[in-house]
Amino acid sequence: MNRAIERALRQVRGTSIVAGSGSAPGARAPRFRSHSPWNPQRALPIEFVAATARDVSDAAGAADRAFRADALADGAKRGALLRTIAEELEARRPDVLTLGVRETGLSRKRLGGEFDRMVGQARMFAAEAEDGSWVRAVIDPAAPGGPDVRRMLIPLGPAAVFGASNFPLAYGVMGGDSASALASGCPVVAKNHPAHPATGELIGRACAAAVVRVGLPEGVFQLLHSGGATDLDVGRWLVEDPRIRAVGFTGSRAGGEALAALGAARRNGHAEPDPIPVFAEMGSANPVVVTERAAAARGEAIAAELAKSILGSTGQMCTCPGLIFVPGAAARGFFDRLSARLRAPRRARAMLTPRIAAHYHDRLAALRRSGCAEASTPEATGSAAARGAPALVRVRGADVLGRAEAWDEVFGPAAVVVECDDAAPLSRLRGALVGSVYFEPEDETDPAFVALVRALAAKTGRLVCNGVPTGVRVCRAMVHGGPYPATNVPWTSAVGASAMERWCRPLCWQAAPPTLLPPELRPDNPLGIERTVNGNASRGGA
């Protein structure tokens, strides 16, 4: 083990962060280790203690107390917390990257960009919290015979956040879910991912240090380790605790649907129904359409762009291109170009975990059994079972309209080229996070092309023109969501300013005196928020 890893591990205790202190490891608390993706038999020299049911209950209780004490009621305080979190993370950047590379197999360059995104979105949400306009404050003054009515968004309460395996920083312990929840006023209990426990804990300790620096209750942010025999139990205990009021998840469809079912079936302390929202981003086979004109004019360049997108991070991104629709006349040549680009890498890279690698090879085997034409669908033998060799298959649209295995996401460096003579195969598309369309200027006035774009937009949360679906810009306008099964709540986004709204509900005050109103709805309106007065936008007091 090199010195950089030794230095980083000195800050990792292997225990959860519950109300500011590591949980006391009981004799029966399950232990687990962090293993290298390159060598699953090689573990870090530290033992992690999985959270117990008592840890989960204590964390939920501390978060609930912080929420009821209005610890995060002030937008300026929330902004200060998120900016301080960014500072604490920046101070630990070398150590976070060192552990991240060791635990995920992702390159330092890739994780460096993800680190920038993690701290950048924390600062973006800090600005949103301080500005306050995101609460959508609306005031309708009293009218003859009726009271005045005021409305705004208010936080739901403590939020549980499940970190993702493929984005350990941007969608991890202090990823977009945690940052947006804190910005909206919800304390966070983060469930660390067992695939990179050291990386997640180091980030969690930076967040906990920021909470102390800003002078907030320690229940504002907490971290639970999960791994080994009780990994699924920790998640279930967390969702079922009646003090948790919302859940954020990024991962597989099976995991997201299981958590959503738990949230819907939940009971409170009196055994009464108490369902809560679960916001699950579950990945997708992001469709790409290449028109005949685009394939003829720049097929080689488009193939190069798509190959780079498919191969990036060994294909382990929820926005990777998965289904590529090309007109029949151009499909064969485009398939050959893309196949050659995907075969260029001579060595398959390690995938995030052996389980993810096994699922990747299972999906490729299902495609082989379906009778699809294929360029390269590697067998999982020996050490290749933990690696992801690129794969490309070709199918005719008419042949796969009824084959579900051809339409599902393949999580890894693989794609399916669909030869389509018309738009019929697009009708079978499932909800996706992103859709891309490559076209030429002449296509823009073609009614069939316009109809195709509308059909694609109806199935996606983000529509990319002449570009790959990978690459999510963190900005106010971004949408990272989409129709089911990409997400279970299609009208929400996990990225961008609107991500804060998931953790809230609208509350209306009627005929309330100023002393009872939150600052955003008071007559002096100190935050200068836009609101509606008798249907007209205004700024300032009512």
281 is catalytic: yes
By the 10 Å C-beta count (0-12 exposed, 13-18 middle, 19+ buried), 271 is classed as exposed
Q: Are 191 and 168 in contact (CB under 8 A)?
A: no
Q: What is the DSSP letter of 423?
A: S
Q: Are 255 and 380 in contact (CB under 8 A)?
A: no
Scan for tokens 């209750």, then name that residue. 217
520 is catalytic: no
- Residue 157 has a CB neighbour count (10 Å cut-off) of 19
Token pair belonging to 444:
């823009």
Active-site residue (options: 318, 320, 372, 420): 318
Token pair belonging to 312:
């990036």
- Quote the Cα angle for 538-541-542, to 5°: 75
The radius of gyration of the chain from alpha carbons, rounded to an integer in Å, stands at 24
Rounded-to-integer distance, Cα 372 and Cα 416, Å: 9
Q: Are 220 and 72 in contact (CB under 8 A)?
A: yes
Rounded-to-integer distance, Cα 253 and Cα 112, Å: 28
Q: What is the DSSP string of 135-183?
A: G--EEE--BTTB--EEEEEEE-S-EEEE--SS-TTTTTTTSHHHHHHHH
Token pair belonging to 120:
């950048």
- Residue 88 has a CB neighbour count (10 Å cut-off) of 22
Rounded-to-integer distance, Cα 201 and Cα 190, Å: 10
**Helix count and strand count (H, E) for the chain:** 14, 23
Rounded-to-integer distance, Cα 70 and Cα 185, Å: 9
Nearest to 488 by CA among 303, 335, 280, 288: 280
385 CA to centre of own chain: 26
Question: Which one-letter amino acid corresponds to residue 127?
Answer: A
Give the helix, strand, coil percentages of the chain, each rounded to 5: 45, 20, 35
Question: Which one-letter amino acid corresponds to residue 434?
Answer: V
Rounded-to-integer distance, Cα 515 and Cα 524, Å: 12
Stated length of the chain = 542
Q: What is the DSSP letter of 308?
A: H
Q: Are 396 and 419 in contact (CB under 8 A)?
A: yes
Listed in sequence order, the residues at least 6 apart from 27 whose beta carbon sits closer than 8 Å to its beta carbon are: none
Please tell me whether residue 116 adopts helix, strand or coil conformation: helix
Q: Are 209 and 122 in contact (CB under 8 A)?
A: no
Cis-peptide into 485, omega within 30 deg: yes
Nearest to 114 by CA among 471, 415, 397, 426: 471
Which residues have a catalytic role annotated?
Answer: 281, 318
